[in-house]
Amino acid sequence: MTTRRRIRGAAAVLATAAAVSACSAPGSGTADGAAAGESVVIGVSTEPDTLSPLLGYGKDGNSKLFDGLLARTADMTLEPALARALPRITDGGRTYTYTLREGVKFSDGKPLTARDVVFTYRTVLDDGTNNTAKSELAAVKDVRAVGDDTVVFTLHHPYAPFAARTVLPIVPEHVAGQQDPNTGPFNTEPVGTGPYVLVDWRKGEKLTFKANPHYWGGAPKVKKLTMAIVADDDVRATRLRSGDLDGAVLPPNLAATFKSDDDKKTYRATSYDVRVVTLPSGNPVTGDTAIRRALDLAVDRQAMVDKILDGAGRPAYGPLPVDDPWFAEDTERPRDLAAAGRILDAAGWTKGGDGIRAKDGRPARFTLYYPSGDKVRQDHALAYASDAKKAGIDVRVESATWEVIEPRMNRDAVLAGFGSTGDPDFGLYTMLHSSLAGDGFNNMAHYDNPAVDRALETGRRSQDPETRKAAYDALQRALVKDPGYTFLTHIDHLYVLADRWKGLTTQTEPHEHGFAAGPWWNVEDWQPAP
């Protein structure tokens, strides 16, 4: 799930509605000298609360301001970035050694050294730093510099996917080290090694970037990049259609309206982005295993994909997509209202005259919140409630801001979104491990299953691929028997852009998308179309 800080930032953006000032018209010359084809304006729905990697920004890669030791290619393969090569792994998987690329400078012209890498990781791991994703680096015992160009990580235990964690952006110690990481100006005035530098941030309106003259990867052809913050989907589509935006992230129904537009091209990215209903264990209704299992069988996932997503997605039978190599075979489940009814009958949930079941005088009723302004989640919530009612469960759907939803998450259901790329440990541990129950937006359902905890620990600590696969298979099968969430759909992310550049691709994306993920993940490599 998005970090606490980012969700609050998103809620603040939603509150601004669509009153967003227009950006420079795409394709035209700009005041700072960017000529036609050198300036790109992208419409996204939210902005980050911080641009500091020390607080979680860019932790999965693709920041335009920063680089990690490693990066991901279009097919999600790891490749060297600030490091010269992939790490040297020794001591049975407990030691990772990186050698830095020569000649890399930060955007202020100062050289990158191993001390900057050490500072970044140690600050993220410090208990005083408000980075809610620090548990992702829990395997790190120590990180140290050897000279100016070598960094050595020592792990508490072997951790198979650790290299993928080193896409974490590196910050300059000579700037960020002089500030409080939680409140310092670095959060809004970043200095990095990436292809772009921030030149203007008008909160709730837009962020403007220009090409970094010190970028080690070569001068980008796109000299100016503007991310326009437009919370309303319809307004984003209208501005794209009018030519005020070069591209935008759009929900399926609006992306479909551009199919006949010859000068626009739609890009579709598969994702791990899953829509789920959290079922808090502390709620006497949602905490009942029979209710959970019945809801899992009552939902019509394929109908949600067809009608809500216009086919741009897949049914979700668990946290991993069905085409993921880690997906447990034969865990797909058809809708079966009869089976749901038998489970509820056996557990003592009997139907009343109004069709709603009850047990010991308690009706099978609970509230399901979704974030205000999110039409896709709203549609999922309403479809879920409709399906649940057919099983005799009354789901009351309500919209609210995240500020209202957050304090209720321990007792009320939420139409939530999760999903991380790179390795199953990245998304599953924070969603399901009992030690993280109620830790911000981690384990929102307060799920507690010892078998799942054991599988998560095995998957995290083992180096053997077959052992890890067996652990994650066991985890997914345990979720079928004891679901703490109702998994609904995995969403494909859709982007529509003016067809004026070459080199645009998409990656398989995490839950968070739009600002960093999307066809602009490699904007520094775009070339003007002939």
Kindly tell me if the per-residue pLDDT of 137 is higher than 90: yes
What is the dihedral sign for C-alpha 458, 464, 465, 469?
Answer: negative
Whether residue 391 is found in the same domain as residue 481? yes
Query: Distance (Å, rounded) from C-alpha 73 to C-alpha 380?
Result: 32
Q: What is the pTM of this model?
A: 0.85
Query: Distance (Å, rounded) from C-alpha 478 to C-alpha 452?
Result: 7
Rg, C-alpha atoms of the chain: 23
Helix axes 424-432, 450-461, angle to 10 degrees: 150
347 within a domain of the structure (yes/no):
yes
Q: Contact at 8 Å (CB) between 368 and 384?
A: yes
Among the listed residues 481, 422, 418, the one whose alpha carbon sits nearest the alpha carbon of residue 455: 481
Average pLDDT taken over every residue of the chain: 91
Number of domains in the chain: 3
Of all residues in the chain, what percent carry a pLDDT higher than 70? Answer: 93
DSSP H helices, 217-257, are: 233-242, 252-255
Q: What is the mean pLDDT of residues 149-177?
A: 96
**What angle is formed at CA 150 by the lines to CA 149 and CA 152, rounded to 5 degrees?**
155
Kindly tell me if the per-residue pLDDT of 432 is higher than 70: yes
Query: Distance (Å, rounded) from C-alpha 275 to C-alpha 380?
Result: 8
Whether residue 355 is found in the same domain as residue 304? yes
Q: Which two tokens stand for residue 372?
A: 């205000």
- Find the domain containing 244 and state its range: 1-47+203-270+494-530
Of all residues in the chain, what percent carry a pLDDT higher than 90? Answer: 82
Whether residue 317 is found in the same domain as residue 443? yes
pLDDT band at 27 (very low <50, low <70, confident <90, very high): very low
Whether residue 213 is found in the same domain as residue 317? no
- CATH number, domain with residue 165: 3.90.76.10
Whether residue 94 is found in the same domain as residue 155? yes
**Environment class of 33 (CB within 10 Å of its CB; exposed 0-12, middle 13-18, buried 19+):** exposed
DSSP H helices, 391-484, are: 402-405, 424-432, 450-461, 465-481
197 within a domain of the structure (yes/no):
no
Task: Of 45-54, 114-123, 284-293, 342-351, give the lowest mean pLDDT range.
Answer: 45-54
- CATH number, domain with residue 516: 3.40.190.10
Whether residue 438 is found in the same domain as residue 506? no
Q: What is the mean pLDDT of residues 364-368?
A: 98
Whether residue 211 is found in the same domain as residue 324? no
Task: Of 5-19, 77-91, 298-312, 340-354, give the lowest mean pLDDT range.
Answer: 5-19
Task: Of 8-22, 246-260, 466-480, give the lowest mean pLDDT range.
Answer: 8-22
523 within a domain of the structure (yes/no):
yes
195 within a domain of the structure (yes/no):
no
196 within a domain of the structure (yes/no):
no
198 within a domain of the structure (yes/no):
no
Task: Of 201-215, 229-243, 500-514, give the lowest mean pLDDT range.
Answer: 500-514
241 within a domain of the structure (yes/no):
yes
Whether residue 283 is found in the same domain as residue 382? yes
Looking at residue 26, its pLDDT comes to: 47
390 within a domain of the structure (yes/no):
yes
Whether residue 329 is found in the same domain as residue 426? yes
138, 156, 190 - which closes a domain: 190
Read off the pLDDT of residues 490-518 as tens digits, 9 standing for 90 and up: 999 999 999 999 999 999 998 887 787 89
Whether residue 379 is found in the same domain as residue 438? yes
Residue 497 three-state SS: strand
Looking at residue 494, its pLDDT comes to: 94
String of b and e for 254-285 (b: at least 16 CB within 10 Å)? bbbebeeeeebbbbebbbbbbbbbbbbbebeb
Whether residue 466 is found in the same domain as residue 522? no
Q: What is the mean pLDDT of residues 420-445?
A: 91
**Of 161 and 440, more confident:** 161
- CATH number, domain with residue 293: 3.10.105.10
Cβ neighbours around 417 below 10 Å, total: 22
| Residue 57 DSSP class | T
Whether residue 112 is found in the same domain as residue 174? yes
